[in-house]
């Protein structure tokens, strides 16, 4: 059978390359095989996918994100020196975080929630394509079983990721109205983490691949990893773009999503048409109240927008905690200010619905 990707010129493997030549050969592998070249990524970045196709990407890639620290823990366990382990363990911290709610996996969950998924559905991984699972698991096995040099070399795809990440974030923000900077926050940190990790791994590979066989093994490991990434996109393309054959058990559009009503509350109407006294208002993800020290004013910070708040709004928003209903908040304020509860309730309903129409409050 003809290989789709011919191996890189074997002439290079026949003699010992200088470290610089080895780096050039590794970079050439990325230039030919990295997943930025895959048609699915081209469609994703150019805004050519439907919301459901973007969802399929976010859902499947969650499995990759979730398994990366498992892969790194397997690699860490094989590192013989404390100095190496100290460096490599940072990767696990980057993905798992130092505490609940922190780290790359959590940020990817936010991305998946940002495109509409229920968090628990994503965590269950039950809708991911088998091909995603197979290729990601193959990466974990590769790193556990091959030589340390090959294991480290297989992470070198990260040399190429900053370029694709910048292109992806810019493209998706420009081309999809349902994508926000907040949703893509995962990628912000990767822009500094990936070059740091790739520099270390590249230096290790250049110093430890000192025979033609080892250099060939390092190149093959990088090729393997490019294929791990590529096959995940092949599977997405086949299932969700063309011919559009979703395998049994894999995610079907509509499954595992937060009901639309909860994502975009019916608060678009002006006045008191959206939020009622019995509703529980909350600040949407990415919106926070802050005290601006320079202007000595409270403001509501939303992605790329800021709203000045008057004292009444501050008093109300201080009590908006995602638990209290509007009626609870009104009762609390009526007590504090010794005022008529019904009057306060009517006033704050107007205020809250005004904020809801500006999309800085939801229920």
In the numeric block, which tokens belong to residue 41? 């990524």
Q: Pairing between strand 288-292 and 297-302?
A: antiparallel
Please state the closest distance from residue 234 (CB atom) to ligand PQQ, in A: 15
In the numeric block, which tokens belong to residue 49? 């996918």
CB 263 within 8 A of CB 160: no
Q: Is 190 in the site for ligand PQQ (CB under 6 A)?
A: yes
Q: Is 165 in the site for ligand PQQ (CB under 6 A)?
A: yes
Q: Is 179 in the site for ligand PQQ (CB under 6 A)?
A: no
Please state the closest distance from residue 81 (CB atom) to ligand PQQ, in A: 19
Please state the closest distance from residue 182 (CB atom) to ligand PQQ, in A: 17
Q: Is the peptide bond before 21 cis (omega within 30 degrees of 0)?
A: no
Q: Angle at which helices 82-96 and 104-114 pack, to 10 degrees?
A: 20
Q: Is 96 in the site for ligand PQQ (CB under 6 A)?
A: no
Q: Which long-range contacts (CB under 8 A, 24 or more apart) does 140-148 make?
A: 140/67, 140/70, 140/71, 140/74, 142/221, 142/224, 142/225, 142/228, 143/71, 143/74, 143/75, 144/74, 144/78, 146/221, 147/217, 148/75, 148/78, 148/79, 148/208
Q: Is 157 in the site for ligand PQQ (CB under 6 A)?
A: yes
Among positions 254-283, residues that touch ligand PQQ (CB under 6 A) are none
Q: Is 49 in the site for ligand PQQ (CB under 6 A)?
A: no
Q: Is 161 in the site for ligand PQQ (CB under 6 A)?
A: yes
Measured between alpha carbons, how far is 319 from 336 in angstroms, rounded to an integer? 12
Q: Is 184 in the site for ligand PQQ (CB under 6 A)?
A: no
Among 26, 164, 218, 313, interactor with ligand PQQ by CB under 6 A: 164
Q: Please identify the residue of the shown chain whose CB is closest to the bound ligand PQQ.
A: 157
If the CB atoms of residues 68 and 329 are measured against ligand PQQ, the closer one turns out to be 68
If the CB atoms of residues 135 and 155 are measured against ligand PQQ, the closer one turns out to be 155
Q: Is 110 in the site for ligand PQQ (CB under 6 A)?
A: no
Dihedral pair phi/psi, residue 296, rounded to 5°: 50, 50
Please state the closest distance from residue 193 (CB atom) to ligand PQQ, in A: 7
Q: Which of these segments, 115-123, 150-158, 245-253, 302-310, binds ligand PQQ (CB under 6 A)?
A: 150-158
If the CB atoms of residues 33 and 298 are measured against ligand PQQ, the closer one turns out to be 33
**How many CB atoms neighbour CB 270 within 10 A?**
12
Please state the closest distance from residue 29 (CB atom) to ligand PQQ, in A: 12
Measured between alpha carbons, how far is 104 from 110 in angstroms, rounded to an integer? 10
Among 60, 132, 135, 155, interactor with ligand PQQ by CB under 6 A: 155
Q: Is 158 in the site for ligand PQQ (CB under 6 A)?
A: yes
In the numeric block, which tokens belong to residue 42? 């081209």
If the CB atoms of residues 237 and 320 are measured against ligand PQQ, the closer one turns out to be 237
Name which of 112, 146, 77 is nearest 258 in CA terms.
112
Q: Which residue has the tokens 């919106």?
A: 287
Q: Is 222 in the site for ligand PQQ (CB under 6 A)?
A: no
Among 13, 17, 68, 348, interactor with ligand PQQ by CB under 6 A: 68
Q: Where are the beta strands (DSSP E) in 3-131?
A: none
* Site for ligand PQQ, rule CB under 6 A: 68, 104, 155, 157-158, 161, 164-165, 190, 229
């Amino acid at each position: 059978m003809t290989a789709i990707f011919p191996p890189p010129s074997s002439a290079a493997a026949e003699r010992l390359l200088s470290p610089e030549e080895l780096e050039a050969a590794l970079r050439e592998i990325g230039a030919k095989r990295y997943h930025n070249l895959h048609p699915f990524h081209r469609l994703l970045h150019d805004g050519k996918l439907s919301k459901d196709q973007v969802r399929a990407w976010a859902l499947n890639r969650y499995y990759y994100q979730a398994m990366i620290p498992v892969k790194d823990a397997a690699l860490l366990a094989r590192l013989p020196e404390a100095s190496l382990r100290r460096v490599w363990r940072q990767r696990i911290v980057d993905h798992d975080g130092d505490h609940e709610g922190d780290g790359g996996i959590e940020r990817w969950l936010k991305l998946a929630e940002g495109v509409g998924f229920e968090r628990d559905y994503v965590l269950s991984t039950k809708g991911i394509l088998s091909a995603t699972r197979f290729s990601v698991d193959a990466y974990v096995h590769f790193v556990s079983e091959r030589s340390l040099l090959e294991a480290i070399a297989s992470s070198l795809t990260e040399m190429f990721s900053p370029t694709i990440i910048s292109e992806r974030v810019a493209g998706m923000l420009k081309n999809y109205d349902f994508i926000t900077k907040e949703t893509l926050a995962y990628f912000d940190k990767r822009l500094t983490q990936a070059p740091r990790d790739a520099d270390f791994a590249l230096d290790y590979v250049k110093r430890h691949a000192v025979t033609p066989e080892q250099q060939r093994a390092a190149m093959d490991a990088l090729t393997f990893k490019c294929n791990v990434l590529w096959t995940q996109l092949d599977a997405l393309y086949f299932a969700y773009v063309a011919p559009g054959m979703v395998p049994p058990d894999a995610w079907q559009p509509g499954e595992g999503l937060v009901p639309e009503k909860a994502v975009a509350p019916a608060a678009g109407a002006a006045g008191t048409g959206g939020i009622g006294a019995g509703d529980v208002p909350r600040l949407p993800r990415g919106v926070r109240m802050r005290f601006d020290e320079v202007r000595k004013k409270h403001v509501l910070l939303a992605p790329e927008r800021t709203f000045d708040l008057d004292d009444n709004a501050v008093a109300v928003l201080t009590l908006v905690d995602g638990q209290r209903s509007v009626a609870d908040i009104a009762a609390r304020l009526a007590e504090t200010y010794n005022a008529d509860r019904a009057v306060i309730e009517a006033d704050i309903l107007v205020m809250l619905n005004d904020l809801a129409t500006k999309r800085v409050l939801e229920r």
